[in-house]
Amino acid sequence: MRTLQVELGERSYPIYIGSGLLEKIGELSLEHGISAKSPHLIVTDERVAPHYLQMVEDRMAEAGFTTVSHVVPAGETSKSLAVFEQVMTTAIQGKLDRSSAVFALGGGVVGDLAGFVAATYMRGVTFVQIPTTILAHDSSVGGKVAVNHPLAKNMIGAFHQPVMVLYDVDTLSSLPARDVSAGLSEMVKHGLILDEEFAYWCRDHASELLALDPEALAYGLERGCAIKADVVSQDEREGGLRAILNLGHTIGHAIEAVGGYGRFLHGEAISIGMAGSALLAETLGRGNHLFEQTREMLSALNLPVVLPSDVSVDEIMDAMQHDKKFTEGRMVFIVPDQIGKVSIVNDVPVNAVRSVVEQLKKEG
Amino acid sequence: MRTLQVELGERSYPIYIGSGLLEKIGELSLEHGISAKSPHLIVTDERVAPHYLQMVEDRMAEAGFTTVSHVVPAGETSKSLAVFEQVMTTAIQGKLDRSSAVFALGGGVVGDLAGFVAATYMRGVTFVQIPTTILAHDSSVGGKVAVNHPLAKNMIGAFHQPVMVLYDVDTLSSLPARDVSAGLSEMVKHGLILDEEFAYWCRDHASELLALDPEALAYGLERGCAIKADVVSQDEREGGLRAILNLGHTIGHAIEAVGGYGRFLHGEAISIGMAGSALLAETLGRGNHLFEQTREMLSALNLPVVLPSDVSVDEIMDAMQHDKKFTEGRMVFIVPDQIGKVSIVNDVPVNAVRSVVEQLKKEG
């Protein structure tokens, strides 16, 4: 078992990564001071529940805990205020009190939803994350929790840190190949922004990662979490530095929106976005060969790096205007300087961005 | 203008109390670093809007601010997730960004609702409170914001401190007499828990307070806010001490619930609850004459101190079982030791509470 400590003062917490960890959920909960006198809530989705819910409930019961469970439909639609209210109903009917904890058993959607419940139930209770996807290694560090508003994603949320993250790599074995690649997209992103060596490690170990080799996965997840934890420790509330984690996300979110949040997975969209950021660096005269190097890494992980020819450049440009990252009308982009190093560039001309999106499409 | 600083480290903020303050909303917003480049949201209700919304919008515009406004129906029903989502829609359509602020112009309901919007819009933006009721002096200190769940009040919320509170006593002149008394209930409560002299001051100046004398009101509001601020500074997240602010609230919340949240105003219900706490002190052998002294103070402010004969003791007892203040099954009560001093008593026998409720009814 690997243990990574996320340093956030009195809100610091460990991420446990390894094989067979789900079996230890009861004893780890006791170790982390979760009260056996109060009932707790497990939130999961219909895809994860058949595999792991019973086991988590059983291990918790064996350790002396009372739990209630709430299973939401799989997918982004569960990040709504309506589903949020239903989970709250289960919490109230289960008589959760201020000493209770909310456990998120699942991927990013379940983590965001259950985390927002934990952040706001009785003005905040204990939160435990049990990620079951590779992508969730990203959302399990940083304390960002949220639900969607019909007009915009992640508009309603909070910062709420878990008391522990329990990452059992065995749970990843049931992931479809496309989700594996999409999850590795955020992993290699952490290399691209801050750790050249790790970025190349991801490329060189692509076949083991894609085959879900437990050793390679555990190392990759630990390194990805560690890089993100470093950034978050320095900027918990997203004042400045944390913005570098958005590499590829401005174009990526626009691609997701234009695809109706169904055509492209988040990791696929930001892969294309990261390729776009590399093109933008070249367009702005900030670097050479960056697109070629970035594309090679992403392609090794079976990730898309160009836009399909039927996607409209105008629609992508329009969707970008709604992005949260445009504070006070300025346009901000995260742009690579080299592999493993990025800059936050303010006032990027819209024309340069349009030219990049057009190139991404031409290549496709 | 009186200024009271609430000390909460980097989240410290001032409460401005006085006459004609609403006219200064624009300049005070500039002084507090609110950005004129971002749009801001004013939340108010149908009762307050006709009196003050236009003025606040105008003063903000004159100071160079862009604002959008959202008017909710008056009353507790606006503290729902449905109304919360509508306010969020206005914020998104008004293009609020991370540098935007949410202004709560109104009483406790508007403050709680708008505060929860501020706490969660894009994971938290700036919050400004402009209370227009006496009762709101209580909710404007402490950072508690929330909406209701159909099954329980204030179940969904956060701690989110304002950057300033602007208390214009002129806005209180339009309050109905019953709301004036109910507001003074929380004011005298602050004396009863921590400041004997202030409690007697409230009794001795009851006629000026009930007549909304600006000088008396400003002093009473400042002193009430100051006592609450002292408690909150020592215990921001409600770990222990802050519980003393709940004097009268356990019985009071039960009375509100049994009355269907319409029959008794919050301040009236906790007035009866405070009388009940004094009776409980005597029942537990912790003090003498407390009921008589407490009753005299509350009656001077035209507040009820007994239960009407048609209220069911069983229903009151049942409603108390659902109260948030019962952590891990124990029953906790705030009990006066003398005027101006209270204790947190754990494991109060249910029988003693029932006997108190019966006495409250017998007196009525």
> Which CATH number belongs to the domain containing residue A15 in this structure?
3.40.50.1970
Asked if A195 and A340 count as a contact pair (C-beta separation under 8 A), the reply is yes
Spell out which chain B residues touch chain A, with contact meaning CB-CB distance below 8 angstroms. 35, 37-38, 81, 84-85, 88-89, 92-93, 97-99, 119-124, 144, 146, 149-152, 155-159, 237-238, 324, 326-329
Q: Where residue A183 sits, what CATH number does that domain have?
A: 1.20.1090.10
Same domain, A14 and A146: yes
**pLDDT tens digit sequence for B239-284:** 788 899 999 999 999 999 898 878 999 999 999 999 999 999 999 9
Looking at the DSSP bridge assignments, the partners of residue A16 are A3, A166
Do both B163 and B182 map to the same domain? no
pLDDT of residue B288: 86
Q: What percent of chain B has pLDDT over 70?
A: 97
Going from the C-alpha of B307 to that of each of B165, B181, B262, the distances in angstroms are: 35, 17, 15
pLDDT at B237: 76
d(CA A199, CA A184): 11
- In angstroms, the CA A311 to CA A313 distance is 7
Question: Is residue A10 located within the same domain as residue A85?
Answer: yes
pLDDT tens digits along B127-157: 999 999 999 988 889 899 999 999 988 999 9
Q: What is the pLDDT of residues A290-331, one digit of tens each?
A: 999 999 999 999 999 999 999 999 999 988 876 555 544 457
Cβ atoms B66, B39 nearer than 8 A = yes
Residues A85, B149: C-beta atoms closer than 8 Å: yes
Q: How far is A318 from chain B (nearest CA, A)?
A: 15
Q: What is the mean pLDDT of chain B?
A: 93
Residues whose CB falls within 8 Å of the CB of residue A82, separated by 6 or more in sequence, listed in order: none
A198/A304 same-domain check? yes
CA atoms of A203 and A187, how far apart (whole Å): 11
Q: In chain B, how many domains are there?
A: 2
Q: In the numeric block, which tokens belong to residue A92?
A: 């109230």
Percent above pLDDT 70 for chain A: 97
Half-sphere exposure of B78 (CA within 13 A, CB side): 24
Residue at which a domain ends, from A137, A157, A174: A174
Indicate if the pLDDT at residue A240 is higher than 90.
no
Q: How many Å apart are CA B77 and CA B109, to the nearest integer?
A: 9
> What's the pLDDT band for B323 if we cut at 50, 70, 90?
low
Cα(B57)–Cα(B69) distance, integer angstroms: 8
Residues A166 and A192 in one domain: no
What are the tens digits of pLDDT across the range B272-312? 999 999 999 999 999 889 999 999 999 999 999 999 999 99
* Nearest CA among A214, A225, A138, A134 for reference residue A179: A134
User: Does B269 share its domain with B210?
Assistant: yes
Alpha-carbon gap, residue B332 to B347, rounded angstroms: 6
What 8-state DSSP symbol labels residue A121? B
- Report strand pairing: B164-168 vs B13-18: parallel
Residue B252 near residue B200 (C-beta atoms within 8 A): no
DSSP H stretches of helix in B121-161? 136-139
Which residues of A are designated catalytic? 123, 144, 186, 228, 238, 242, 246, 249, 253, 266
Picking from B220, B242, B239, the residue whose alpha carbon sits closest to that of residue B231 is B242
The closest alpha carbon to A129, from A36, A75, A56, A232, belongs to A56
How far apart (Å, rounded) are the C-alpha atoms in residues B201 and B117?
37
Domain shared by A261 and A122, yes or no: no
Distance CA A22, CA B87 (A): 41
Q: ipTM for the complex? A: 0.89
The two three-digit tokens of residue A253, written as one number: 């979110």
Name chain B contacts of A159, Cβ cutoff 8 Å: 123-124
Domain boundary, last residue among B155, B174, B193: B174
Which range of residues forms the domain containing residue B43?
2-174
What single string gives the DSSP state of each residue in A161-183? --SEEEEEGGGGGGS-HHHHHHH
Residue A143 pLDDT exceeds 90: yes
Task: Pick the residue of A98, A112, A123 with the most B CBs within 10 A to test the interface with B by mutation.
Answer: A123
Interchain contact, B328 vs A81, CB within 8 Å: no
Q: DSSP letters along A27-77, please?
A: HHHHHTT--TTS-EEEEEETTTHHHHHHHHHHHHHHTT--EEEEEEPSSGG
Please check whether residues A244 and A167 belong to one and the same domain: no
Long-range own/partner contacts, residues B204-209 (CB < 8 A, 24 or more apart): B206/B300, B206/B301, B209/B180, B209/B184, B209/B301
A163-203 pLDDT, tens digit per residue, is 999 999 999 998 999 999 999 999 999 999 999 999 999 99
A32-74 pLDDT, tens digit each? 999 999 999 999 999 999 999 999 999 999 999 999 999 999 9
If one counts every other C-beta atom within 10 angstroms of the C-beta of residue B32, the result is 16
**pLDDT band, residue B364 (cuts 50/70/90):** low
Q: Are residues B231 and B336 in the same domain?
A: yes
Q: In the structure encoding, which two tokens stand for residue B153, read together?
A: 């009040």
Final residue belonging to a domain, choices A150, A174, A198: A174
Q: Are residues A169 and A275 in the same domain?
A: no
Q: How far apart are CA A144 and CA A85, in angstroms?
A: 19
**Residues A248 and A324 both lie in one domain:** yes
B211 shares its domain with B105: no
